[in-house]
Amino acid sequence: MPGSLRLRLPALFLLGIVIAGVVSAIIAVQLFSAYTRNQSYEELGREARGIARLYGDAALRAAEEGTPAPDFAPEALELATGDLLFYVGAPVFPGEESGLARLPEASVPPEVVAAEEPRQFEFRPPGRARSFIAVSQPLRLEPEGPAIGSIVVAKAQDVVRDQWAPLVGRLAAAFAIGGLLAWLLGLWLSQRISGPVEALARASDEIARGNYAVQVPVGRGGDEISHLSERFNEMAARLAATEERERQFLMSVSHELRTPLTAIKGHVDALRDGLVDDPELVSASLEVVANEATRLERLVGDVLDLAKLRAHRFTVQTEEVDMGHLVEQAFGSFGDEARRREIVYALEGADRAPTIITDGDRVLQVITNLLKNAFRWTPDGGSIGVALEASNGAVRVDVTDSGPGISRQDVQRIFSPFVSHDTQGTGLGLPIARELAVALGGRIELDTEPGRGSRFRLVLPARVA
């Protein structure tokens, strides 16, 4: 696809190379052009000094000795230097021709005519269609004497241009080869980068369609893409596990709701159809309906509480909580049941408990759920103990019972929703207690062994008031 990452990456890579290459080529051409121009001026200056000295010495001898003008021809000098020779100023050999092409003073800059020092300039000689670069050298009969004119050595500008023009061709060839290599390298890099990304995109589409059984290949480099692939696979596995838990949860909720509803519907149908007319049986049926309705109400409340906890749609209050008073409150609510069932019921450490910052109602709910679980599984005549302790920056509330204990394979299962072997419970008390403990910044620990009872421990951070 034109907008795919696989094409955009090499295109951007090539664009960066092109921009860098063009800028580098422009700078290189300008630098080389300036270099060749300066070199040409230096070469013209050396030639102008030599020729001016040659003509100056000849003119001095002619003036002192009356000798004629020298017989070396300017054409020979031009052939030796490859440049054009001109002269501007007073005659070098009075009454004789020097052989140098004379320039009108109007064809050169004014400062060249009266110059006492060499000058660099550009001009167009009369009758010539091209522009020239030139250097003028004052012509003197004596080293310290006044200048009588200037020798001008000139070179056509296109000749100078021809010196750096091949560089442009070489740069263009190098640029083309570099661009091709950059494109191939960009394609290879984009394949290395976009391949895993496309695999992640396809896997994401599968997850969006509800298929969590996807795995993305993990590279060996340990780079960011490999790390992302590993985390993606972990996410997919967790989503699959979460979906399975939700499915099991919904199935369990449906089953748990169906049981009391079936009992209620059966008894109501029997009463409505007149199948039960004995007052005692009618009373018993109504009692069953009432009990099942109460159970159904408790189940719905627990399900809503657990759903809010897992969705983090509940609030945790922060207040000063006297842990000793709170534990005594939870302990006292089960005193009548303990006496009725002749259970040895004891509380320890409430008088030494600190006051901490937490949500008192939530903590009371956790301890109450743990006590409900203990009384549900402790036989009549057994024992249940509650102990409160604060040390090492934590507050611990232990609920110990003399029940049957829990097998090793059931230790984790009992904190899952609807896992209960007790027909009187909803199987949500312990899951709610654990979720609340985590929300309060704490945890629930379990120490149990079949035949020796269980100890549930609520651990909370001791944020002292």
What confidence tens digit (pLDDT) does each residue in 40-94 have?
888 888 888 888 888 888 777 777 776 666 666 677 787 778 888 888 887 777 6
Q: What is the pTM of this model?
A: 0.45
Sequence-distant (6+) residues with CB within 8 A of 9 are 186, 189, 190, 193, 194
Sequence-distant (6+) residues with CB within 8 A of 151 are 48, 51, 52, 55, 85, 86, 87, 100, 136, 137, 139
Q: Which residue has the higher pLDDT, 102 or 252?
A: 102
User: Token digits for 170?
Assistant: 């070489």
Average pLDDT (198-209) is: 77
Sequence-distant (6+) residues with CB within 8 A of 62 are 68, 69, 93, 96
Sequence-distant (6+) residues with CB within 8 A of 280 are none
Position 79: which residue type?
A: L
Cβ count near 261 (within 10 Å): 13
Sequence-distant (6+) residues with CB within 8 A of 115 are 136, 138, 147, 150
Q: Quick check: helix, strand or coil at residue 359?
A: coil
Domains and CATH numbers, the chain: 5-163 (3.30.450), 239-310 (1.10.287.130), 319-461 (3.30.565.10)
pLDDT tens-digit series, residues 143-160: 777 888 888 888 888 776
State how far the Cα of 226 lies from the Cα of 190, in Å rounded to an integer: 15
Across the chain, how many H-helices and E-strands are there?
10, 12
Please give the pLDDT value at position 353.
80
Confidence grade of residue 457 (pLDDT, cut at 50, 70, 90): very high
Q: Which residue has the higher pLDDT, 464 or 405?
A: 405
Please give the pLDDT value at position 221.
58
Over its C-alpha atoms, the chain yields an Rg (Å, rounded) of: 52
Residues facing 348 on adjacent strands? 387
Q: Quick check: 39 pLDDT over 50? A: yes
State how far the Cα of 435 lies from the Cα of 442, in Å rounded to an integer: 10
**Helical (H) or strand (E) element with 161:** helix 157-208
The secondary structure of 92-120, three-state, reads CCCCCCCCCEECCHHHCCHHHHCCCCCEE
